[in-house]
Amino acid sequence: MHKEILEDIGEKELINRIRKFVPKNQISDDCALIKTKHENLLINTDSLVENVHFNDITICPEDIGWKAVVSNISDLLSSGSKKTIGVTISLVLPPRTEWIWVEELYKGINKALEEYGGVILGGDCSKGVEKIISITAFGVQGELELRRNACKPGDIILTTGIHGLSKLGFLIKNKINFDNEYSLNKRLIIKSIEHFCRPKVYPNFLNNLLKTRSNKNIKRIGCTDSSDGLFQALQDLAIASNCKAIINYEKMPIDKDWPKGDRWDEYYFFGGEDYELVFSLPKKWAKNLSKLDKNINEIGIFADGEPSIEFKDYKQNKLFNNTPYKHF
């Protein structure tokens, strides 16, 4: 009899099957919500694994430490965290790991915490074959709850920043050869490597949402981040909210030097590790926010229908035949 393996079922089905062991609605989003008498807590865990997320060729240990923190804070922000309390750090390291590697890792961790808030609260160390950095981050739930299942038909879909840059930075660091027809601009190369090695998040995002909210009675909005790629983020929102995402390709915020072509569209939509926020708002609120913050762009609308993603221009829909990033 064939035994199912994780490579066959994939990450999403694995998480779906784990649900039966977890309290209801605790793994619908990246963060767990813990209710307390005073302020509710958001808790998130993310891991970086050697030869899966990083290696000594593509990224230095200080940048790994930075990314390990930022990936967690991005998840906290996408759930509506108004403050990062701190992090715990679990390390799995081969015995022959040099101390300087660990020291540089922690320098990167502290630089990210100095930038975005929080302190190191503790952690654990163990021996292993490959390096693993697992961070658990603790945040405080803000006035607005940001959840994947809170999108509504008629909501405008928005995104922060530009997608695809981290993927390009990864390819450049791995010395992937591009077709001769593409001559990458030096500015784009530098920007992409920076996005891959030192991604940034938006600590003022929640305050800007509150400033521009046109209806104070709205307490929940749909949101996630694009750590697994823009397509996956849109798909997660559509499935969790049970509605259809209609995307306007012409409105996508793309770097001015980004090459054109099917492969470059794939990098843009399926690249991952950009840590941009993908969310939805009522029309008036969306207009107010995009006026206030020029790094935020409207890219589509949610509509009634089966959970799915489609382009307004149907000729582009062949792009979505591609497979999102897989962990297994």
**Residue 94, domain CATH:** 3.30.1330.10
Same domain, yes or no: 196 and 288: yes
Cα(247)–Cα(316) distance, rounded to whole angstroms? Answer: 10
Residue that terminates a domain, selected from 98, 116, 141: 141
Same domain, yes or no: 110 and 204: no
Task: Report residue 190's pLDDT band, with 50, 70 and 90 as the boundaries.
Answer: very high
| pLDDT tens per residue, range 1-10 | 568 888 787 7
In a domain, 20, yes or no: no
Question: Which residue blocks in the chain are alpha helix, DSSP H?
Answer: 6-18, 61-77, 99-116, 165-173, 186-197, 205-212, 230-241, 262-270, 283-292
Residue 328 has pLDDT above 70, yes or no: no
The reported pLDDT for the residue numbered 12 is: 74
Cα(328)–Cα(315) distance, rounded to whole angstroms? Answer: 31
In a domain, 253, yes or no: yes
Same domain, yes or no: 172 and 104: no
| pLDDT tens per residue, range 144-172 | 999 999 999 999 999 999 999 999 999 99
Same domain, yes or no: 46 and 156: no
Residue 140 has pLDDT above 80, yes or no: yes
In a domain, 149, yes or no: yes
Q: In the chain, what percentage of residues exceed pLDDT 90?
A: 76
Residue that terminates a domain, selected from 113, 141, 169: 141
Same domain, yes or no: 62 and 206: no
Residue 87, H or E segment: strand 81-93
- Structural domain range at position 270: 145-321
In a domain, 72, yes or no: yes
Same domain, yes or no: 73 and 155: no
Residue 199 has pLDDT above 60, yes or no: yes
Cα(227)–Cα(275) distance, rounded to whole angstroms? Answer: 5
In a domain, 21, yes or no: no
The reported pLDDT for the residue numbered 314 is: 63
Q: What is the model's pTM?
A: 0.91
In a domain, 18, yes or no: no
Same domain, yes or no: 126 and 264: no
Task: Report residue 23's pLDDT band, with 50, 70 and 90 as the boundaries.
Answer: confident
Residue 198 · residue 107 · CB < 8 Å: no
Cα(245)–Cα(157) distance, rounded to whole angstroms? Answer: 8
Same domain, yes or no: 203 and 225: yes
How large is the average pLDDT for residues 215-237? 95
Largest CA distance in the chain: 61
User: How many domains are contained in the chain?
Assistant: 2
Question: What is the CATH number for 209?
Answer: 3.90.650.10
- Which neighbouring-strand residues pair with 310? 246
In a domain, 22, yes or no: no
The reported pLDDT for the residue numbered 196 is: 96
- Which neighbouring-strand residues pair with 157? 280, 300
Same domain, yes or no: 174 and 282: yes
- Tell the residue number behind the tokens 């995009």, with chain if given: 290
- Which neighbouring-strand residues pair with 224? 278
The reported pLDDT for the residue numbered 255 is: 95
Same domain, yes or no: 99 and 217: no
Other CB atoms within a 10 A radius of the CB of residue 90 amount to 16
